[in-house]
Chains A and B, each alone.
Chain A
Amino acid sequence: MSLASVQNINFEYPRKRVLKNISFEIEEGSITALVGPNGAGKTTLLRCMVGLETPISGRVIVNGIDVHDRPRDAHRHIGYLSDFFGLYDSLTVRQCLTYMAWCHKLPLQNLKQKIEALAEEVELTGYMDQKAGALSRGYRQRLGVGLALIHDPKCIFLDEPASGMDPEARVHFSALMVRLKNRGMTIIVSSHILAELEEYCTDMLVIRDGEIKSHIILEEHRAAQEAVLRIGLQTTDQKYIKIIESYTGVSGVRIAGHSVALAFNGGPDRQVTFLKYLVGKDVPVSEFTVMQKSLQAAYMELAISGDDSGLQKMEKAAQAAESKAKP
């Protein structure tokens, strides 16, 4: 079921159209990565989606509410953390959370317990009486997320949330995203760190020059992707190579020393069958590795190609997966 719907959004800064007729849907419970080069319009799109910028035309519907028609109603269901957010440094973590709860007009009964529970969720329990200004980058980010989550929104928009964090803080942040995902929250996150997005994202929106180039459902994409297999052989006798090449779905065989790299069109089941086939044909297999293309690699393929062919490839893969899924 769709939780958010972006319909024909156009946005301009003076004499520069930043978003061009953008439309897409966000499924409830999904985690969508918004990726694209700098200046592509990611931040503007997020700000339009949460109602902080008003597009010149188009609509954003979140949980059935038009964000620009009824921003205050919509904000009850939306949490947002901007890329360069600030905190009230002179207030303690507890005061920051309490203040934001008041601003959201949360009921006063059980507010204290609610704030404690939220602090536990974002791992800030031990820092409640510390001034926000004294927190490290990672903890500031947790508090930022906490402030965005204080009113139990249905979906949360995070703009470059992991930028500037050290590796340990990033691990904690990824774990927090996974926890929120497990709670069923819908998350839209823009980031450059695709390796981390891969851990928890379900969808990827590719934006470039103010246009959505592709909306990929990652699970389907992975299923539809040609796997790259690396097969280690004890001897690279030509007859074994021919056996491998003759198998249906194998292409692009390359030999490097005792290893054979090849593209294999098929999911895990077919890969098992292929391995059984090789063993049955007495091929001396010493290694059988599936090298799945990472999100980063897929995105880089698009970025390096410089045109849309890579994107089209991804779209085709997604479409193929979609058609496969149809009865």
Chain B
Amino acid sequence: MIIVNPEFHRYLWLNFSPIRLIVPPIVLGLLFYVLAAQPDEFPWQARLFKPALFIYFVVMFLWGSYEAASAAVSDLGKKTWDFLKMSSLAPWSLTIGKLFGATSYVWYIGLILLAVIGLSYGAALDTVKFQYIREVAPTPVNLLIYLLLATISGHTAALFMGTHGLQLKKQGIAASFIGGFLVSGFVFSITVGFNLQSLVKEPSEIFWHTLSVNQDVFLIGSILFLLFWMMVASQRTFREELQYKNAPIVLVLFLATFSFYISGYLDNNRYYATLDAELKLVSKIYLSFLIILFFTYLATFKDATDLARYKRWIYAWKAREWRHFFENTPGWAGCVLLLVPAYIFLILHAGVVDVPARIWQPIFSFSNLAFISALSLFVLRDGLVYHAVLLGKIERHKMFWIFLYLFSAYILLPFLASLGGEAHIAAFFYPIGDMSFVSACLPVFMQCFLAAIGLGYIVKSLRA
């Protein structure tokens, strides 16, 4: 017996009984036979196209997303997770096994439907009704590739979101199931969909960094790129669950490639083309900085929930165990590794960065050093507060206190301040780009200082 992947094989055992093997071809065969037998002006093959596509959406996008979302947490519910954690199963095996094993039965039905879609494509597109599909998917292969990509993307997204449930030891799958379904729908919409594709596929050539790429190739490449990182993210979560240590090296790699990927789009902007080479480079670094800062914010929030990791980090530091220290390094520290050189680069090119916003206006609303410095300090302030709240002694309703803080800091206090009509104190509440460096940064710097004192107090009490 050939064993490709134990987890995949287990799902084959579970999903494929003789009856379950026989039912889909019989039911679908009967359905399509009835549809083909209906009297219609179009050839019988054309009548199968739309129903097959619709059933494919329901089966693959809905049912498939549900199965993929369940796969991540199913072992928690069955209390079999410890057996897997104690085994030699590799994280990639587990990821691939769950992704394609849990959805194997759905794929079985889906492949029958894909065959019907592929065979009925030609006849359907000869009719007036479906001619517009030819514009976005000129051959059945194009259509099948887009459908496969949409399906795998949705399933991977559902699995990835489900792995967070695994980490939180929560078995609910509603969010990951809906998320997976939405991703499938979105990918389908931007590839073969009839509304969004025009937004994505204009112009026909995409300028990315220095390359000019065919829009279809670029779209498929972009989906594969994001799909790859979603799979890696799922694998990293499984890896962590299987007792491997996840040093933030992969996060750094993701941020580097993701910010490179996104900043490449600037070449597609007609205003960008008018900038000189130095300003082009600076604007790409500037955009990358903002992207990395956003992920730093997310990482800070996640890291603040893991007190044990901080303790292991500190113990490793004290014991001079550098490998353990590196393995337990929180994610935000990895992000900072990229932020610092990018920020230094921007300081060194301050003259270019602070070019009046009119040049930048089409690309960024804010464009100067004061803005990104203030923004970074706001991220720092919120990060310190999250750590103080989540690591502190508040036992219950922590998310409520976080929400209250965000509401107060970004809505309530600015509103109360605005009643006094003092517009110049806006820098206390938001990162502002159109003022001097000191005016933009000093208020939030003071807040960071206070938040740091608060966190210091919390850390002291934890030590006690």
Q: Does B85 contact A (CB under 8 A)?
A: yes
8 Å CB contact of B312 from A51, A54, A88? A54
- Any A CB within 8 A of the CB of B195: no
Chain A neighbourhood of B80, CB < 8 A: 85-88
Majority SS of interface residues in chain B? helix
Does B9 lie at the interface of the complex (its beta carbon under 8 Å from any beta carbon of A)? yes
Return the CB mask of A49-85 against B: 1 if under 8 Å, else 0: 0111010110000000000100110011011101011
B6 and A72 form a contact (CB under 8 A): no
Given A15-B393, A54-B243, A71-B243: A88 touches B78 (CB 8 Å cut-off) = yes
**In the complex, what residue of chain A is closest to B307 when comparing beta carbons?**
A14
CA separation between A247 and B178, bound complex, in Å? 83
Contact B308 A80 (CB under 8 A): no
The size bracket of the interface on B is 20 to 34
In the complex, what distance in Å separates the CA atom of A105 from the CA atom of B315?
35
Does A82 lie within 8 Å of B82, measured CB to CB? yes
User: Per-residue CB proximity of B86-115 to A under 8 Å, as 1/0?
Assistant: 111100000000000000000000000000
Minimum CB–CB distance for B119 against chain A, Å: 35
Q: How far is the CB of A313 from chain B (nearest CB, A)?
A: 35
On chain A, the residues within 8 Å of B21 by CB distance are none
B84 within 8 A of A: yes
With A84-B79, A102-B9 as known contacts, state yes or no: A52 contacts B85, CB within 8 Å: yes
Q: Which residue of A lies closest to B10 (CB)?
A: A99
Q: For residues 12 through 57 of chain A, which have their beta carbon under 8 Å from a beta carbon of chain B?
A: 12, 14-15, 50-52, 54, 56-57
Given contacts A54-B243, A71-B244, A88-B10, contact A78 B86 (CB under 8 A): yes
Instruction: Please indicate the chain A residues that have their CB under 8 angstroms from the CB of B315 in the complex.
Output: 56-57
A254 at the interface (CB under 8 A from B): no
Chain A residues within 8 Å of B14, by CB: 88, 90-91
Contact B88 A104 (CB under 8 A): yes
**Interface status of A237 (Cβ within 8 A of chain B):** no
Does A108 interact with chain B (Cβ within 8 Å)?
yes
Q: Please give 17 more A-B residue pairs, beta carbons under 8 A apart, in addition to A56-B308, A91-B13, A103-B7.
A: A52-B86, A52-B243, A56-B312, A56-B315, A57-B312, A57-B319, A68-B243, A80-B86, A82-B79, A85-B79, A87-B80, A88-B10, A91-B10, A99-B6, A99-B13, A103-B84, A147-B83
What are 27 A-B contacts defined by CB distance under 8 Å? A12-B311, A14-B307, A51-B243, A52-B85, A52-B243, A71-B242, A71-B244, A72-B244, A75-B86, A75-B87, A75-B88, A82-B82, A86-B79, A87-B78, A88-B78, A89-B78, A90-B14, A91-B13, A95-B10, A99-B9, A100-B83, A100-B87, A102-B3, A102-B9, A103-B87, A108-B3, A148-B83
The 5 A-B pairs of least Cβ separation, nearest first, read A86-B79, A103-B87, A102-B6, A71-B243, A56-B311
